């Protein structure tokens, strides 16, 4: 299963924006982006050229890919599937990404980041509708129940992550039951329900050339 294994903090610096790829570290004083908000490399502080339209589109695509931990081949497959669906291609693309199991594990608060969510799913800590699923890209459907395996409910990483949830869950397309350590994927979220600041139309423009 292909995945990015390089330096994570450099990704945020490259995109010029916090992508919250390392969970709690991203909101602490240890965050590399806070210390070095310029691009990585020896020319990071001096490379301030104005980006072309292509450059803006490319950076937006890279940003979305890296936020969800998806590599190019799989991301392009998502785009092709989105373009064949009814509706707005960009919105369909985001719906596919938000329906991934590793993303929903993160959204429910079981993991501090999507990267950790991917790892927990790969290590067989989660079940969907009572069946163990170890595929991070597994696409959830409306009504699916996501729960932590009984043997995994004592994991410190999951408990620490859940402690950060304050009050009720604020995502209307998910239901979280803290006591049972499970969640319900009510429906695929609409675009305005996704708390993510990206411009997916730039990706559509890039791939449409």
Domain count along the chain: 3
131 and 104 in a common domain: yes
Rounded-to-10 torsion of CA 2, 72, 80, 103: 60
Range of the domain at 6: 1-45
Q: Which of these, 108, 105, 30, lies nearest to 69 by C-alpha position?
A: 105
This model's pTM is above 0.85:
no
Q: What is the CATH number of the domain that holds 109?
A: 3.10.290.10
**Mean per-residue pLDDT, 29-52:** 61
pLDDT in tens, 128-179: 999 999 999 999 999 999 999 999 999 999 999 888 876 556 788 999 999 9
Least confident of 27-31, 87-91, 103-107: 27-31
204 and 171 in a common domain: no
Ordered DSSP codes for 175-199: EEETTTTEEEE-SPPPGGG------
105 and 90 in a common domain: no
183 and 111 in a common domain: yes
Helix, strand, or coil (residue 36) = coil
110 and 69 in a common domain: no
> How confident is the model at residue 11, as a pLDDT?
61
Residue 192 domain flag: no
Q: What is the CATH number of the domain that holds 33?
A: 1.10.1050.10
5 and 21 in a common domain: yes
158 and 84 in a common domain: no
116 and 69 in a common domain: no
Residue 158 domain flag: yes
50-57 contacts, C-beta under 8 A, 24 or more apart: 54/206, 56/202, 57/202, 57/203, 57/205, 57/206
């Amino acid at each position: 299963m292909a995945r990015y294994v390089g330096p994570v903090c450099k990704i945020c610096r490259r995109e010029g924006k916090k992508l919250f790829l390392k969970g709690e570290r991203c909101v602490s004083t240890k965050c590399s982006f806070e210390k070095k908000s310029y691009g990585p490399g020896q020319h990071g502080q001096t490379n301030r050229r104005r980006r072309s339209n292509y450059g803006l589109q490319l950076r937006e695509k890279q940003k979305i890919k890296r936020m969800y931990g998806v590599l190019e081949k799989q991301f392009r497959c998502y785009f092709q599937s989105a373009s064949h669906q009814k509706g707005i291609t960009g919105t369909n693309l985001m719906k596919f990404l938000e329906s991934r199991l590793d993303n929903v594990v993160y959204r429910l608060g079981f993991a501090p980041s999507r990267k950790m969510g991917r790892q927990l799913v790969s290590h067989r800590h989660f079940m969907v509708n009572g069946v163990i699923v170890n595929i991070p890209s597994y696409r959830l459907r409306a009504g699916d129940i996501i729960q932590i395996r009984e043997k995994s409910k004592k994991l410190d990483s999951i408990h620490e992550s859940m402690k950060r949830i304050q009050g009720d869950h604020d995502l209307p397309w998910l239901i979280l039951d803290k006591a049972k350590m499970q969640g319900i994927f009510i429906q695929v979220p609409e675009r305005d329900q996704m708390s993510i600041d990206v411009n997916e139309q730039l990706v559509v423009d890039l791939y449409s050339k």
